[in-house]
Amino acid sequence: MNMSSLHSFLVEETGLQLRQVEQTVALLEAGATVPFIARYRKEVTGELDEVQIRQLQERLLYANELEERRQTVLKSIDEQGKLSVDLHSRIVACHQKTELEDLYLPYKPKRRTKAKIARERGLEPLAAQIFAATGLGVKLEQLAKPFVKPQQDVVDVAGALEGAGHILAEQFADEAGTRAIVRDLTWKHGVFQSQPARGKAGAVSKYEMYYTYSEPLRQIPSHRMLAMRRGEKEGVLRLSIEAPQENISVSLGRLLLPPSNPYHNWLKEVVTDAYQRLLAPAIEVELRQKTKQLADIDAIQIFAENLRNLLLAAPAGGFRVLGVDPGLRTGSKLAVVDQTGRFIEHATIYPHTGKGQVEAAWQQLLRLIVDHGVEMVAIGNGTAGREMDQFVRQALKLVAKQLPVVMISEAGASVYSASDIAREEFPDLDLTVRGAISIARRLQDPLAELVKVEPKSIGVGQYQHDVSQAELKKSLGEVVESCVNYVGVDLNTASWALLSFVSGISTSLAKAIIAYRDEHGTFTSRKQLLNVPRFGKKRYEQAAGFLRIRTAQQPLDNTAVHPERYKLVAQMAKDSAIAIEQLIDNSAVLDAINLNQYVDADVGLPTLRDIIDELKKPGRDPRESFVSTTFREDVMEMKDLVPEMKLHGVVTNVAAFGAFVDIGVHQDGLVHISQLADRFVKDPNTVVKVGQQVQVRILEVDLQRKRIALTMRAEKG
């Protein structure tokens, strides 16, 4: 595929304009990152956003993989001496991997099939004669008789005809057109079925709803498909696809059976054998794989959206925080961090192990708060979380001290505590103390802390262990990269884990930046990055605009304005007869600037508008303002819940079938998609998002199964 063909293919696949495709592909192949292109090359791409650029990047990868496979196929067929001009043209014209593999199938090296054995026995000429009907007027048995050769294991006429049938069946099954018909009809009209596996009928199982289940193949929601596949994997369910056999039989007959062939009835049986023995099983495997891939895409998209909302949760900001990792028998770990997240002191208290420990625990808790000027308390929402929340609030009441007490999700905290990053940060601290520090930092800045945890351990996805792990890792990594660059990173306080997601910065380079910072002190200029080993001009171009220096000598270093546009801003300031420092955060002057006079070949209005917006709110954090969540004090456990009770909660997870909400009873409730609003909801993400505070009403409580049904719909009457 030459460059022109590649661009045409990408235009067709993405719906973008040719110029957009050409320019964006050039940037990607030159090593530019998606965040950089979306933010700083708007004129070049025609203002494509990250989603569009990633889609183009994905199709570019697909096209490159397709081309690599195409060359392998052409070489293989050519080496067999079977590459005709027509076949070459058809292969070159392929735009889909499935189509390419269909064309290659007849020439693909095979195991020793029934057809191959028949060919070895010299029956290929018989198969050709029957199909071409060259023996017109000759009975089938007479046609086959000369091919009876006991020495070649063809002992009778029936054996000869059977072998010829196997050869034709394989030819029919290997035809690209045949496979396309069966695939298309099965996909459009097939029915996916689920039933109990052998010996499981009537067994109590979480998969009971799928014991007698069927649904059109194309319409199965992703969560149902993944649930059924999990049931099959666990040996509870048996899954299959019921194909529209009658439609397929008619279509294959039209394609493969010449009506004038005197052996029509015999050939019809061969076509049936080709379908039932070769085509149907292969196409079922293929379509089951397709449904799995589509379900994976949906599930990963939901996971990615949840992760984005969690990472972009509102930061509490630079306050001194006491982090609490609650526990029962082993005690609760307390850790104090300063405004920048630096660890100060830790302690362990045992408020839940007996009355004698409560007063000592209060004293220890209050000592840490007073000694270190703690301004907020963050409590993990795991075991004993609500009990610890009450304990802390009671302690504060004793001394008439008012501090915000916030419940924080512990998801992934234990993974972080045992990670290499945590060991590197706090080599001398216990795992649980590291967890308390992480909880405190999550309150200050969720993004900066959560990037240290493998995304799939954060617990905001459904069936994350059932989907393609490679695709999941890729997608979630892109989300983290997108969020980090969207918010921007403080060059002087960021961990190497956070820096490693900045555009153009690898893990090794992030560690080199930290090493340079430790040796030379804080950065005072973005240009100093060029002094970091292996940080070249290309890396600088890709990264600089996303890094902030709060106390920089150059005020633009604390904004999202790229260094390549500093001269432009200086010219704006000069034309306005004020200094750059006076231009920044000066809406009156900025609104009066005529942007058209600064448009040139490199800079257009989209970039100029971005610059003005940034100068109006320099270094602004695009995340929402922080609002703490408080649960009802009289509701601590599931047994405290009653139908129609109204509660305040926080969305912890969004799935295709609804949203899970933490209402403070150690068990999330489910708001089914039908209960999210007083209108039809197709996608829960259009109504709620992870981290959102919501008002819910109890519909039903099942203590035995630990299930809570919630609603967000208005009360009737």
621 vs 618: CA distance, rounded Å = 9
**Do residues 628 and 404 make contact, with C-beta atoms less than 8 angstroms apart?**
yes
CATH 3.30.420.140 domain residues, the chain: 321-444
Nearest C-alpha neighbor of 581 from the set 560, 556, 547: 556
Beta strand pairing status for 332-337 and 343-349? antiparallel
What's the one-letter identity of residue 10? L
- Contact at 8 Å (CB) between 554 and 573? no
Q: Where exactly does CATH 1.10.10.650 map onto the chain?
A: 3-107
Token pair, residue 300, equals 């990963």
> What is the structure's pLDDT at 717?
59
The 10 Å Cβ neighbour count of residue 574 is 12
- C-beta separation of 237 from 228 below 8 A: yes
User: Would you put residue 706 in left (φ > 0), alpha (ψ -120 to 50) or beta?
Assistant: left
Q: What type of residue sits at position 512?
A: A
Cα diameter, the chain:
109
Q: Which percentage of the chain shows pLDDT scores above 70?
A: 99
Which pLDDT tens digit goes with each residue over 81-131? 999 999 999 999 999 999 999 999 999 988 899 999 999 999 999 999 999
Looking at the chain, the domain(s) classified CATH 2.40.50.140 span 638-711
DSSP 8-state secondary structure symbol assigned to residue 696 = E
CATH superfamily of 114-303: Tex N-terminal region-like (1.10.3500.10)
Just give the CATH number of 638-711. 2.40.50.140
Both tokens of 615, joined, read: 């100068």
pLDDT, tens digit (0-9, with 9 covering 90-100), for 381-404: 888 898 999 999 999 998 888 899
Global pTM reads 0.89
The pLDDT tens digits for 216-233 are: 999 999 999 999 999 999
**Among 331, 442, 454, which residue's Cα sits nearest to residue 383?**
331
Pairing of strands 547-548, 489-490: parallel
Q: Which whole-number Å values give the CA distances from 655 to 304, 306, 409, in the listed order?
A: 11, 9, 18
User: Edge to edge, what strands does the sheet with 321-325 contain?
Assistant: 343-349, 332-337, 321-325, 376-380, 405-408
Q: What is the pLDDT of residues 299-345, one digit of tens each?
A: 999 999 999 999 999 999 999 999 999 988 889 999 999 999 999 99
pLDDT in tens, 618-661: 988 899 998 888 888 889 899 999 999 999 999 999 999 999 99
CA distance 177 to 284: 17
Percent helix, strand, coil in the chain, to 5, is: 55, 10, 35
Domain covering 3-107 assigned CATH 1.10.10.650 in the classification: yes
pLDDT tens digits for range 127-137: 999 998 865 67
CATH number given to 321-444: 3.30.420.140
Q: How confident is the model at residue 464 (pLDDT cuts 50, 70, 90)?
A: confident
